[in-house]
Amino acid sequence: MGVRVGVVAVAVVLAVAGCSGGDAPPPSALPSDSAPPQSSSPPSNPPSTAATTPTPTAPPLPATATQDTPAGAASFARYWLSVLDYATTSSDTDSLLALGRCTSCIALAKSVEVLYASGGRAEGGRITVVDSSVARHVPGKAALVRVHYDQARSREIPPKGPPKTTPAQKGLGFAFALARREGGWTVAKLQTVETN
């Protein structure tokens, strides 16, 4: 959540209370007293050495995450966190909002949109799910799921000024109120929770 969850956690609290590239290696040069080898064949085009950063893609929805079972609800909540992670590194909030338009979901998406619209970006902050539990499941209707996770160090890089670094954090959590919709789940309500 790169804005990763650590960077947008403030927005979540208020609402409810990686892509780092390195420099390309320097090209090797012949010593000044050496001449390039002569060849009778025409010179070939050397392969490009320019570093390219792959465009992130939204994680695929696991088949389990659509099931109307406790395991399906837990899988969906875990999947939501992976999409939040993706949204913060790509600025693609549509994928996140497609999973639910609760008040906190919209607040998270807006914080990502504002950062990227201003020319900023987020790096790091990889989310690692520790565990999930289903407090309640009502077939065909709803489920209550808690997900605990850790988050790596993250940086919010504004267009101007110094980056804001959030240290690695452990013991974070969300409580999801999920509602059934045709063929799957949607986030009806999202809240941060204490996990310690």
In the chain, pLDDT over 70 holds for what percent of residues?
Answer: 71
Residue 106, SS3 per DSSP: helix
Higher pLDDT, 187 or 196: 187
* Mean pLDDT of the region 2-6: 44
Q: Over the stretch 12-39, which tens digit does the pLDDT of each residue have?
A: 333 333 333 333 333 333 333 333 334 4
Q: Over the stretch 135-144, which tens digit does the pLDDT of each residue have?
A: 999 999 999 9
- The 10 Å Cβ neighbour count of residue 113 is 14
Higher pLDDT, 4 or 96: 96
What does the mean pLDDT of the chain come to?
79
For residue 63, the 8-state DSSP code is G
User: What whole-number distance in Å separates Cα of residue 142 and Cα of residue 123?
Assistant: 34
User: What whole-number distance in Å separates Cα of residue 191 and Cα of residue 189?
Assistant: 7
The structural domains of the chain, ordered by start, are 5-17+63-192 (3.10.450)
For residue 96, the 8-state DSSP code is H
User: What whole-number distance in Å separates Cα of residue 115 and Cα of residue 154?
Assistant: 14
